[in-house]
Each structure stands twice: as structure tokens, then as C-alpha cells.
Amino acid sequence: ETGVTQSPTHLIKTRGQQVTLRCSSQSGHNTVSWYQQALGQGPQFIFQYYREEENGRGNFPPRFSGLQFPNYSSELNVNALELDDSALYLCASSATRTGADEQYFGPGTRLTVT
Amino acid sequence: DQQVKQNSPSLSVQEGRISILNCDYTNSMFDYFLWYKKYPAEGPTFLISISSIKDKNEDGRFTVFLNKSAKHLSLHIVPSQPGDSAVYFCAPSSRRGGSNYKLTFGKGTLLTVNP
């Protein structure tokens, strides 16, 4: 059974650019959540996808968008990057959309915006 | 508005002693409380949880205590081991509030266990 994987590990982008981060959920999981962890902060919930549809969203602007594919893998897209978008982006998968207590996290993608 | 507060950014203890990590919350809709541990370059991993219908949950060296009236919980690690050195996050969720799909994390406490 493979765990949650994320790619790339690190990424450097310039302000105004767009970025796509990828996540493969754990085998058997149909729900993916994305979190942003800024330096010195705890992870903040961005949104969750369940069976290819957005199931809930945190306090993030529309330039943060996502997709979930039929194999339950997911992408996080961020448009018009800002310096404050520099953070660790964590993906978590779970077996149910209500399973906040059963989320398994990937190692994250470190995004630096210059 | 911080709904979850971990007021100690760091804690240092000697191996074999007790580590006590604290967490305060303001949202009365939180009814399920989780602790996650995070090592550098890894994602958070689930450690222990407690439901609001309990005031204590124990799992080996780890015990979590919940004081609902004070909106306070604590994680006790006894005895502490050097491998416990990590950042610990308190992360409640709200099952009855309809937002049980997401976790609300505190800022974390960096625990260092010295040999």
C-alpha cells in the first residue's frame, strides 16, 4: 500500500506566474484535502475534493483552484502568484469526505515565490 | 482570529521525563481533537485523538486530556524519548458542526528531548 505522494518536492516561481502542484492519494482513498503551511504557522485548510467535486473550501481567494481526477489524484493550481504564497503545500487523503480524523498527509511541496 | 492556540512555541525536556504540550481553543463547535506530529521534510502524522464525550484518552506513552469547560487540552508524553523530538500540532475538527471535513491547526510546539 503506497502512501500519499506529492510532486514536485521544491519549486521556485516568480511573482505573477502560475503553478500546478500534484498529489497522489493513498490507495483506497477517494478524498483529497489541500493545506498551506506558511513559515512558523500551522497548516491552513485550502479545500477538499471528493469524487472529483469540491466538498469544502477555506478562506482562500479564487486564484487557488483544484482538480480531482477519476483515479482520485489531485492538482492544486495557483494563479497570479504573490510573495505571500511562499509556503509548504500539503496534500492529505482520506477514505471518506467526513474523515477529517483519518487524513494521511504527504511530505509536501515547498513553493518559493520571488 | 486564531481558533486554536498553542502558546508555547518550543519545549525542551530531558529524556525520561514528562513532556506536557498544551492547546487552547475558542470554537465551541469543535468536538473531536487530534494531535499530529511532524518531523522536518515529512508531512504531519496522526498521533492520538479524543472525542468531546471523553476527558482522557491514553495510547502507550501518550495521553491526551480534555477540559471542555476551559476549552483546553493537553498532550502528555511519558517517558519522553529523543525520537519524540518533533513539532506537535493540535488540530480540532467539528463533526456535529458540518465542517468535519477539515482540520484547524494550531501553530505547533517544537519539542526537543535531550539525551
Q: For residue B43, give the chain A residue with the closest CA.
A: A107
pLDDT: is B94 or A106 the higher one? A106
Mutate to test the interface with A, among B10, B39, B103 (most CBs of A within 10 A): B103
pLDDT > 60? residue B63: yes
The reply to whether residue B102 touches residue A41, judged by beta carbons under 8 angstroms, is no
Query: In which band, very low, low, confident or very high, does the pLDDT at A97 lie, cut at 50, 70 and 90?
Result: low
Residue whose C-alpha is closest to residue A29's, from A68, A66, A77, A76: A68
Q: How much is the pLDDT for A74?
A: 96
As a whole number of angstroms, the distance between CA A5 and CA B111 comes to 26
- Provide, rounded to the nearest whole percent, the portion of chain A with pLDDT above 70: 93
The answer to whether A4 faces chain B, any CB pair under 8 Å, is: yes
The reply to whether residue A101 touches residue B44, judged by beta carbons under 8 angstroms, is no
Q: How much is the pLDDT for B99?
A: 59
The nearest CA of chain A is from the CA of B75 a distance in Å of 17
The reply to whether residue A105 touches residue B41, judged by beta carbons under 8 angstroms, is no
The answer to whether B51 faces chain A, any CB pair under 8 Å, is: no
Query: In which band, very low, low, confident or very high, does the pLDDT at A103 lie, cut at 50, 70 and 90?
Result: confident
Q: How much is the pLDDT for A94?
A: 84
Instruction: Show residues of chain B in contact with A100, CB under 8 Å.
Output: 32, 93, 95, 100-103
Phi, psi of A84 (to 5 degrees): -70, -10
Q: How much is the pLDDT for A108?
A: 96
Q: How much is the pLDDT for A66?
A: 96
State chain B's mean pLDDT as an integer: 93
State chain A's mean pLDDT as an integer: 92
- Provide, rounded to the nearest whole percent, the portion of chain A with pLDDT above 90: 73
- Provide, rounded to the nearest whole percent, the portion of chain B with pLDDT above 90: 83
Q: How much is the pLDDT for B16?
A: 97
Q: How much is the pLDDT for B97?
A: 61
Residues in chain A, overall count: 114
Q: How much is the pLDDT for A64?
A: 98
Residues 30-69 of A with CB under 8 A from B: 31, 33, 35, 40-45, 48, 50, 55-56, 58
- Provide, rounded to the nearest whole percent, the portion of chain B with pLDDT above 70: 95
Contact A85, A77 (CB under 8 A): no
pLDDT > 70? residue B67: yes
As a whole number of angstroms, the distance between CA A102 and CA A104 comes to 7
As a whole number of angstroms, the distance between CA A49 and CA B20 comes to 35
What pLDDT, in 10s, does the model give residues A37-82?
A: 999 999 999 999 988 899 889 999 999 999 999 988 999 999 999 9
Looking at residues B76-95, what average pLDDT do you find?
Answer: 95
